Amino acid sequence: MSFYSPVRTNAAEAASSDKLHLFKYVEDPEQHTVKRYEEHGGYAAWKKVLAGMKPEEVIETVKNSGLRGRGGAGFPTGVKWSFVPKASPKPRYLCCNADESEPGTCKDRVLMERDPHAVIEGMAIGAYAIGCHLMFIYIRGEFGHCIERMEQARKEAYEAGHLGKNIYGSGYDLDMIVHTGGGAYICGEETALLNSLEGEKGLSRIRPPFPAVEGLYACPTIVNNVESLASVPHIINRGADWYRKLGTEKSTGTKVFSLSGHVKQPGNYEVELGFPLKKLIYDEQYGGGILGDKKLKGVIPGGASTPFLKPDMIDVGLDYESLVEQSSMLGSGAIIVFHEDTCIVWVILKLIHFFRHESCGKCTPCREGTGWLEQIIRRIEAGEGRKGDLETIEDLCGNILGRTICPLGDAAVMPIQSALRLWREEWEYHIENKKCMVKSHFPFK
Amino acid sequence: MILSEESVRLMREKAQQYPRRKSAILPALTIAYRQVGYLDGAIYREISRTIGVPYVEIAEAATFYTMFPKQPVGKYLIQVCHNISCALMGADSLIEYLEQKLGIRKGETTPDKMFTLISVECLGSCATAPMMQINHDFYENLTPEEVDRILDELRARA
């Protein structure tokens, strides 16, 4: 067992960079302690905020930075914070979403394990901006190491006076709770997360009301992703203008991309938004090319719920806008690569099995539809596909898309529709010939 | 009592942090699972008494969350990720290898109650695939030699 995730990072590049900031110290084995975090300038932003910034100024700064949610939706963080009603007499809550479970995504885990105080500092600043005095971090239950690290960091932050009563003599009180989940992907969706945090089943809620108005315990609540919050101290320290200059005009800043699948050097890499996808996959510094120098077949650019890219579509920048132009999405920044020996029906079967398993069961189209889709796709994969199956799949997809309370239904459908569009001949071959065009059989080293 | 004094203390400590006690259900289930290795009705009843939340609410939450086994499992619960990133790196072969090594099929427990083998959804170790979680620890970048070593070590420890 390794306490650290043994994942490869580009921390060395980040250490000498003026632009990269999230990964600067993630290879420092002591960075998780409050002492080392402070030595590296940690909690300066939190001190700066409490020493003289008004909550509105903090919100304005984050708005101006252009920071957008790193969990998948890409909604502007500062704008989200501004939705909390100023006049509400109710307590306000901030919850850091650390229920990382989108297949392909393994970035928040590294931030929590290796730089937990950066997450706490970002959460504290966000909490102050919305007038919150009790904040939560919801960590998926399987992340035992992260939970231990965050509990320890929380304890040290209290002892060092960064959390608790009358922080730095400012009169501001802030408490923190580390909450653990129970292995449900749906709880990464913010309204399901809030139900789960209340001790309920993780079912999504109808919006409106939005959580910023009526969230946890029916009080105004902001839910932000780990990476979004970890970016905030840097924005406060160095200013919105500095952050805006990173990335592209509309997709500002840097982002951690999790690169997995058939690449020589899978890992977590922090790059500026807009970074060329092709370079991330092939450059020696990052992915290093396709495993066994095989031919690339496809890429999932933003986690298991985003549409595929074919090899002729990967000359694209990794930013919110450019991927939409390629009919896909940046999502959580999880790039999954597969080569020529991969059967597309097999890939889709893995994905739909996941979504059927994780559907919370609240909305009929998603609950029933994902089950039917899995049955049909499983029989095609097993060589028992029937004429008309593809049309049935398309019909089912159309009856799920946009007809569910939360985006899980859409997420299940989008990769299937995309795979049918991009590799139709392979699906047809599978049904006609009762077998894969290429057989996916991958040994483990 | 199934729950240890330590578990009870941890649950009470956690429960008093929250504005509403019901929020402590998941953390309490986690504490119980870590001690006992699985959850069932008798355990829900004890949690209910410990944190002061009705039994039915504990059971309702527990049965929704798949991370907690609802019946006794082997001393070591091997959970292999079978999702896409791990599958591309040989998760199916890893499961077959474990089935052969342990002499059981996926979903089964060895006769000596030492190992239970199951496959699970993505565990967030996509760039260190293939991987498995055994009880609460992650084992990543697996190779056959590494799996042999881990199993030998666990047997020796038992």
A393-402 pLDDT, tens digit each: 999 999 999 9
Taking an 8 Å cut-off on Cβ atoms, the answer to whether B23 and A183 are in contact is: no
Q: Residue A261: which of B19, B88, B143 has the nearest Cβ?
A: B88
* A155 touches B at CB < 8 Å: no
* B74 touches A at CB < 8 Å: no
Q: Which residues contact A193 (CB under 8 A, 6 or more apart)?
A: A95, A97, A99, A138, A187, A202, A223
Q: Contact at 8 Å (CB) between B86 and B129?
A: yes
B56-94 pLDDT, tens digit each: 999 999 999 999 999 999 999 999 999 999 999 999 999
Q: Which residues contact A8 (CB under 8 A, 6 or more apart)?
A: A265, A266, A267, A268, B127
Q: B112 to chain A nearest CA, in Å?
A: 24
Q: What are phi and psi of A178, to 5 degrees?
A: -95, 115
Alpha-helical regions (H) of A204-343? 226-238, 240-244, 277-282, 320-325
Mean pLDDT of the A149-165 span: 98
Supply the pLDDT for residue A445.
Answer: 82
- Cα separation, A378 vs A347, in Å, equals 11
Q: Phi-psi category of A288—alpha, beta or left, where left has phi over 0 and alpha has psi -120 to 50?
A: left
Report the run of H or E that residue B9 belongs to, with start and end: helix B5-15
Question: In a 3-state reduction of DSSP, which class is residue B49?
Answer: helix
Closest CA to A105 of A334, A301, A429: A334
Question: At residue B104, does pLDDT exceed 80?
Answer: yes
Counted across chains A and B, CB pairs separated by less than 8 A come out at 184
Residues in chain B with CB shorter than 8 Å from the CB of A217 are 19-20
* A217 touches B at CB < 8 Å: yes
Query: Searching chain A, which residue's CA lies closest to the CA of residue B134?
Result: A1
Q: Residue B88: which of A5, A197, A338 has the nearest Cβ?
A: A338
Whole-prediction pTM: 0.97
Taking an 8 Å cut-off on Cβ atoms, the answer to whether A260 and B85 are in contact is: yes
Which tokens in the block code for residue A442? 């991958």
A419-443 pLDDT, tens digit each: 999 999 999 999 999 999 998 889 9
Supply the pLDDT for residue A1.
Answer: 39
Q: A178 to chain B nearest CA, in Å?
A: 9
Taking an 8 Å cut-off on Cβ atoms, the answer to whether A201 and B64 are in contact is: yes
* B82 touches A at CB < 8 Å: yes
Q: A87 to chain B nearest CA, in Å?
A: 21
- Cα separation, A365 vs A283, in Å, equals 42
A238-275 pLDDT, tens digit each: 999 999 999 999 999 999 999 999 999 999 999 999 99
Closest CA to B148 of B101, B91, B86: B101
Residues in chain A with CB shorter than 8 Å from the CB of B89 are 260-261, 442, 444
Residues in chain B with CB shorter than 8 Å from the CB of A183 are 65-68, 120
Taking an 8 Å cut-off on Cβ atoms, the answer to whether B61 and A109 are in contact is: no
Which tokens in the block code for residue A182? 């129970």
Question: Mind listing the domains of chain A with CATH numbers?
Answer: 31-244 (3.40.50.11540), 257-337 (3.10.20.600), 344-433 (1.20.1440.230)
pLDDT band at A217 (very low <50, low <70, confident <90, very high): very high
Residues in chain B with CB shorter than 8 Å from the CB of A262 are 88
Residues in chain B with CB shorter than 8 Å from the CB of A202 are 64-65
User: HSE (CB half, 13 Å, CA atoms) of A409?
Assistant: 22
* A71 touches B at CB < 8 Å: no
Contacts 24+ apart (CB under 8 A), B7-14: B7/B31, B7/B32, B7/B35, B8/B50, B11/B47, B11/B50, B11/B51, B12/B50, B12/B51
pLDDT band at A51 (very low <50, low <70, confident <90, very high): very high
- Cα separation, A62 vs B10, in Å, equals 38
Supply the pLDDT for residue B26.
Answer: 97
* B143 touches A at CB < 8 Å: yes
Question: At residue A2, does pLDDT exceed 60?
Answer: no
Q: How far is CA B71 from the centre of its chain?
A: 11
Residues in chain A with CB shorter than 8 Å from the CB of B88 are 260-262, 336, 338, 342, 442
* B130 touches A at CB < 8 Å: yes
Closest CA to A328 of A418, A394, A420, A253: A418
- What value does the mean pLDDT of chain A take? 96
Q: Are strands B115-120 and B76-81 parallel, antiparallel or unpaired?
A: parallel
* A424 touches B at CB < 8 Å: no
Question: In a 3-state reduction of DSSP, which class is residue B126?
Answer: helix
* A322 touches B at CB < 8 Å: no
- Cα separation, A240 vs A220, in Å, equals 26
Mean pLDDT of the A13-36 span: 97
Question: At residue A29, does pLDDT exceed 50?
Answer: yes
Which tokens in the block code for residue A313? 């579509």
Supply the pLDDT for residue A207.
Answer: 94
Best of B96, B126, B154 to disrupt the A interface (most A CBs within 10 Å) is B126
Q: Which residue has the tokens 């650290």?
A: A4
Query: Searching chain A, which residue's CA lies closest to the CA of residue B79?
Result: A142
User: Which three-class secondary structure string do you get for A337-399?
Assistant: EEECCCCHHHHHHHHHHHHHHHCCCCCHHHHHHHHHHHHHHHHHHCCCCCCCHHHHHHHHHHH
Q: Contact at 8 Å (CB) between B118 and B135?
A: no
> What residues form DSSP beta bridges with A276?
A317
Supply the pLDDT for residue A245.
Answer: 97
* A358 touches B at CB < 8 Å: yes
A355-374 pLDDT, tens digit each: 999 999 999 999 999 999 99
- What value does the mean pLDDT of chain B take? 97
- Cα separation, A290 vs A95, in Å, equals 38
- Cα separation, B61 vs B58, in Å, equals 5
Per DSSP, the residues of A109-142 read HHHHHH-HHHHHHHHHHHHHHHT-SEEEEEE-TT
B114-154 pLDDT, tens digit each: 999 999 999 999 999 999 999 999 999 999 999 999 999 99
Report the run of H or E that residue B30 belongs to, with start and end: helix B25-36
Query: Searching chain B, which residue's CA lies closest to the CA of residue A348?
Result: B84
Question: At residue A215, does pLDDT exceed 50?
Answer: yes
Q: Contact at 8 Å (CB) between A123 and A135?
A: yes
Dihedral sign, Cα of residue A327, residue A333, residue A334, residue A336: positive
Q: What are phi and psi of A91, to 5 degrees?
A: -65, 155
Is there a cis peptide before residue A209, judged by omega within 30 degrees of 0?
yes
Supply the pLDDT for residue A70.
Answer: 96
Q: Contact at 8 Å (CB) between B109 and B74?
A: yes
CB contact residues (below 8 A), chain B span 31-50, against chain A: none
Question: At residue B46, does pLDDT exceed 70?
Answer: yes
Question: In a 3-state reduction of DSSP, which class is residue A441?
Answer: coil
- Cα separation, A266 vs A335, in Å, equals 10
